[in-house]
Amino acid sequence: MNSEMIREKVREGYGKIAGSGGSCCGPTSTCCGSTPVASEDLAKHIGYTAEELAALPDGANMGLSCGNPNALAALRPGEVVLDLGAGGGFDVFIAGRKVGPTGRAIGVDMTPEMLAKARKNIATYRERTGLDNVEFRLGEIEHLPLADASVDVVISNCVINLSPDKPQVWREIARVLKPGGRVAVSDLALLKPLPPAILDSVEALVGCIAGAVLASETERTAKEAGLADLELKAKSAYIDGMVDWQDPLYREIVAHLPAGAKPSDYVTSLEITARKPSEAATQVLGGRSASRGSTGGSCCPPGSGCCG
């Protein structure tokens, strides 16, 4: 499939999830494999507090998480935070309470049905919190509808793996971040390549598996986008704990694995944090690059002894 076909399959799949309340793998499961009644248990398992979950509008938690980027981001009052692939608003509503009345939480999603669901939930959020600091915008995460250097923090929860152009997503993240801004992403990543039969499965794509890439590739593309202080932490235990491997989609995945192999041997929940260099750091690095370029890649003329 080409990029547009992949994007359309994902949009179609998540449009159905929005309409059904949280299932992309079958009539009883959510995208990451938990049953709808277990969505709250899943959220608690990956670090969300009972207080955070209780304050959410009904239906915002559809069990589509694979980590807790809000906790990773350590959000502060007054910050502007952007959530890539906001869905029904789960992480946006939690972020909104953390940044408070002087901050803002913005969600971007390419699925009109998800956007409608999230916007409908705003009224309940306002009633429960007294805050008017969240908004949702229609758009693709490869082409974010935000100005350059306009947000303090970018978060995302189990979404970047769905993109057919992940390097472009990371370039967009770097573009919209203010200098010194932070990234906190939870995503699914591969520890080693998947069997071809799984890679060719549309269901596995929408189910967050087939589109995942190696953790090393994620690290490379984020660095190439200009982000610094990159840290990646694999949480393979999340996979065993949060997925119902009896779901039809995941049974198919297991069937194509080598004998004795576990899904968590191949797939991991990955926590990714990074920072956009400050303007001062960028200027210093740029100066060093220019200096090295003028001397053939060294900080001083060969043989001069100026580098010790």
pLDDT in tens, the chain (308 residues): 555 655 555 555 555 554 555 444 333 344 444 444 466 666 656 667 777 767 766 765 555 656 677 878 999 999 999 999 988 888 999 999 999 999 999 999 988 888 888 999 999 999 999 999 999 999 999 999 999 999 999 999 988 988 889 999 999 999 999 999 999 998 888 888 877 766 665 445 445 565 788 899 999 999 999 999 999 998 876 666 555 555 555 666 677 778 888 778 888 889 999 999 997 555 444 544 433 333 333 333 334 333 33
**305 occurs within a structural domain:** no
Residue 89 lies inside a defined structural domain of this protein = yes
Residue 26 lies in a domain: yes
Q: Can you give the pTM of this predicted structure? A: 0.76
Q: Does residue 296 fall inside a structural domain?
A: no
- In angstroms, the Cα distances linking 40 to 45, 61, 231, 253 are 9, 7, 28, 25
Closest among 212, 229, 72, 220 to 154, alpha carbons compared: 72
Whether 160 is in a domain gets the answer: yes
Q: What are phi and psi of 224, to 5 degrees?
A: -65, -25
The total number of structural domains in the chain stands at 1
Distances (CA, A) of 197 to 189, 240, 250, 262: 17, 21, 13, 16
Residue 304 lies inside a defined structural domain of this protein: no
Residues for the chain: how many in total?
Answer: 308
**Structure tokens that stand for 208 in this block:** 């967050």
**What is the Cα–Cα distance from 211 to 224, expressed in whole angstroms?**
20
With 0-12 CB in 10 A as exposed, 13-18 as middle and 19+ as buried, what is 58? exposed
Structural domain for 81, as ranges: 3-279
Q: Is there a domain that residue 77 lies in?
A: yes
CA 108 to chain centre: 12
Helix (H) or strand (E) holding 90: helix 90-99
11 found inside a domain = yes
Structure token pair of residue 240: 């065993």
Beta strands per DSSP E along the chain: 80-84, 104-109, 134-138, 151-157, 177-190, 228-235, 267-275
CATH number at residue 204: 3.40.50.150
